[in-house]
Amino acid sequence: NKVLVLNGPNLNLLGQREPAVYGAATLADVERLCAQVCEQHGLALDFRQSNHEGVLIDALHEAGAAQARGELLGVVFNAGAYTHTSVALHDAIKGAAVRVIELHISNVHAREPFRHHSWLSPVAAGVILGFGIRGYGLAIAALAGEQVEQV
């Protein structure tokens, strides 16, 4: 069984981007962390990043189909700033009926008011935020836990 970890705009800049907010780890470090946690849970990892909204939408549609075939547990999705702007991502998650855990490295509720609203939260299975990149591991463990409960 597989997990898709999907990263949106500007997350390719992790490590150099506002390190006081997002930390020193790079996206490659995040991928390593995700690979380790997936291995611990016996899951395969599909790890992606795109700065393009349409590419993220296509990935969610693909993930919904894979989930329906029983090949994918769900998606850990850090949509970056599209979280706060994208009705299209909201509709994609809903339309593809894909299990998504919304993830943010920072505690968006302790930041600017424009980060307080999420278009994804109403269609997410759960939300993990404010734990730094460790949140990715927590989100994968949450999906893996769901898998155990379903057995």
Choose the binding region for ligand DQA from 62-70, 73-81, 90-98, 120-128 (rule: CB under 6 A).
73-81
104 is catalytic: yes
Q: How many Cα atoms are found within 13 Å in the side-chain-facing hemisphere of 43?
A: 29
Is residue 93 close enough to count as binding ligand DQA by CB under 6 A?
Answer: no
Q: Which is nearer to ligand DQA, 65 or 126 (CB)?
A: 126
DSSP class of residue 84 equals G
CA distance 3 to 76: 8
Is residue 24 close enough to count as binding ligand DQA by CB under 6 A?
Answer: no
Q: Strand, coil or helix: what is 6? A: strand
Is residue 104 close enough to count as binding ligand DQA by CB under 6 A?
Answer: yes
82 is catalytic: no
Choose the binding region for ligand DQA from 24-32, 52-60, 79-87, 141-149 (rule: CB under 6 A).
79-87
In sequence order, the 6+-apart residues with CB closer than 8 A to the CB of 143 are 3, 43, 73, 74, 76, 99, 101
Is residue 90 close enough to count as binding ligand DQA by CB under 6 A?
Answer: no
CA distance 139 to 67: 17
CA distance 133 to 7: 12
Is residue 33 close enough to count as binding ligand DQA by CB under 6 A?
Answer: no
Is residue 106 close enough to count as binding ligand DQA by CB under 6 A?
Answer: yes
Return binding residues for substrate. 78, 84, 91, 105-106, 115
